[in-house]
Structure 1
């Protein structure tokens, strides 16, 4: 009898220490390396916000040889962070991606030209070499040039496009007259190198009305037919936005979290703190919903440039953000 009671007590103790429900596992693939561009997700993981939503989230760093669209298509992730142009192009190519939330409301993309190039307006571009990132990041540039009627094949009256590295070296080394930068990353590198508004002409995509939607959250369409997955996505977005809010309110701590979570050791505290402050200007932590006016402008630009051939159907859903 004593052994029976002891066995029951041990069993009861084991049950009392076990979690009530197993956490739902989700894998997030970032668009780029571990940096404050993704501070909201990194903070949410570090501060336990995903745990509070009963989620076990694995965050995968990206890089120059990693295409989030390919990762999720191959089953390596449940959710990816990518720009809408890349997501739309992938969808039309047979990877049925769907936007479930849009934390980034504004574009951080700019093009900068040193004053010695004598480029002061778009009309000065023809005959010059412009640095542009590829791997899905080129679409906003080509849409802009198409809007301006400027050829990008190096022909007379057009511009030559240099496939730019992900830094400001092409400008410093004179390989390009103008280069692409993000407000929250490479522009900071330019400032550190002695450049700024006094010796640069700055073309801000948002201020010009040429901004296309950038970092959004995308999943595979078929997964949205599973109510359990939709529920997990909803909890993920809620926790992520809590992470974005915390990062905006606590930039120093957020920057340190980014540095601590960078396995490569490449992230520096000063630069991540700069990035955290600049990224906060692009994210609305209270509203992860997709802005339809910006969505329609993005789609129109992609259609005009023939980046996509047909008006997309089912490329976004509000089922997740409606459930917050």
Structure 2
């Protein structure tokens, strides 16, 4: 299965596109999958349009479970899912234009950038407690620390250099690596063209497992950028500030149903993968084996001792903010100014 685009410091989602025929099909079909809601239940005023940052694959499985099991309907909501992709508006564009009520920003840096450009967005929670972005290497020459990374031969997508620099500068090291731009297939790593490959830890490792028979710890190694000291949230739920004030009750109901869906996803990720393949992404050419494995790999990145969709403003103002600053971001908004965890708290409270 082709790679999912990486979102990290200074790298737009649109610079890391899918590189196979199945990926091209997904890109072409994404716009035709804009309305996958809960049918006719709920009044028109209780319809919520959700814009995702990528096509409707397993990445968003908890939302599918919530819709498929009727959790949104039980809250009096009709939810429309808008698939994304490189030829679709970003969630930030969709929410700003009013074509979506809720956006799922692929990475917190995307949201920082949009707010820094004058958009008045509010973050409600983060699906991924640890961003799936990271580095893939072979067990024969593992790259698992900033020091090992500093002088490595790195294979990656053009634009990744600032992310790598942020890791190294944050670790007090001088970037002395050799960077070679490559596509979205990790084959060059297997062929020995480099020491490591920038990846999504929920994607390219699957290619090594399914196409090359490698296993983690016995063939390949993988670390997130959080493991290397540059943590960020990903798939951040956000809305326009005015919409939050006007529709708070609907958003509380949405988050309550959504968390029920993700609870079920964590209990049975395989069922969520089947929904992606057979229902919500049925026209995308998704492969069941790949989507099932992706669903499994996402679980530890979503789980949190603080609860689903948790965000730590203190951490965002500290090491997360510093990582973005080291990566070259400017006009960074203060997290306390755009993170509102009140909706999440209300959604968690007994009714």
**What TM-score bracket applies, with the shorter chain setting the length?**
0.7 to 0.9
TM-score normalised per structure 2 = 0.74
Shift in Å, 1:223: 1.8
Q: Displacement, 1:277?
A: 1.8
Q: CA deviation at 1:49?
A: 1.2
- Name the structure 1 match of 2:303: 284
Asked if 1 retains the 8 angstrom alpha-carbon contact of 2:130 and 2:226, the reply is yes
The partner residue of 1:238 within 249, 253, 256 is 256
The reply to whether residue 106 of structure 1 matches residue 130 of structure 2 is: yes
Q: Say if 2:145 and 2:228, in contact at 8 Å, map to a contact too.
A: no
> What is the RMSD computed on CA atoms of the aligned residues?
2.9
What is the CA-CA distance between 1:176 and the residue it aligns to?
4.7
Bigger radius of gyration among the two: 1
2:147 matched residue in structure 1: 123
**Equivalent of 2:219 in 165, 182, 199:** 199
Deviations 1:207-238 (A, max 9, x none): 33322111210112232231xx1111111111
Correspondences of 1:1-324 after superposition (within 5 Å):
21-22=43-44, 24-66=46-88, 67-82=90-105, 83-115=107-139, 121-126=145-150, 128-133=152-157, 140-148=163-171, 157-160=176-179, 162=181, 164-172=182-190, 176-192=194-210, 193-195=212-214, 196-226=216-246, 229-260=247-278, 261-284=280-303, 286-296=307-317, 297-312=319-334, 314-324=337-347
The alpha carbon displacement at 1:127 in A equals: 5.6
Separation of aligned partners in 1, 2:330 and 2:75: 37
Aligned-pair CA distance for 1:305 = 2.8
Check conservation: 1:23, 1:54, Cα contact below 8 A: no
The 8 Å contact of residues 153 and 196 in structure 2, kept in 1 or not, is answered as yes
The gaps in structure 1 that reach 5 residues or longer are 1-17
Does the aligned pair in 2 maintain the 1:150–1:158 contact within 8 Å?
no
Q: Is the CA contact 2:115–2:333 (under 8 Å) kept in the aligned structure 1? A: no
Specify whether residues 245 and 222 from structure 1 end up closer, same or farther in structure 2 by C-alpha distance, changes over 3 A only.
same
Q: Is the contact between residue 303 and residue 309 of structure 1 (CA under 8 Å) also seen in structure 2?
A: no
Q: What is the alpha-carbon distance in structure 1 between the residues aligned to residue 311 and residue 270 of structure 2?
A: 29
Gaps of 5+ in 2: 1-39
Q: Which 4+ stretches in 1 moved above 6 angstroms? A: none
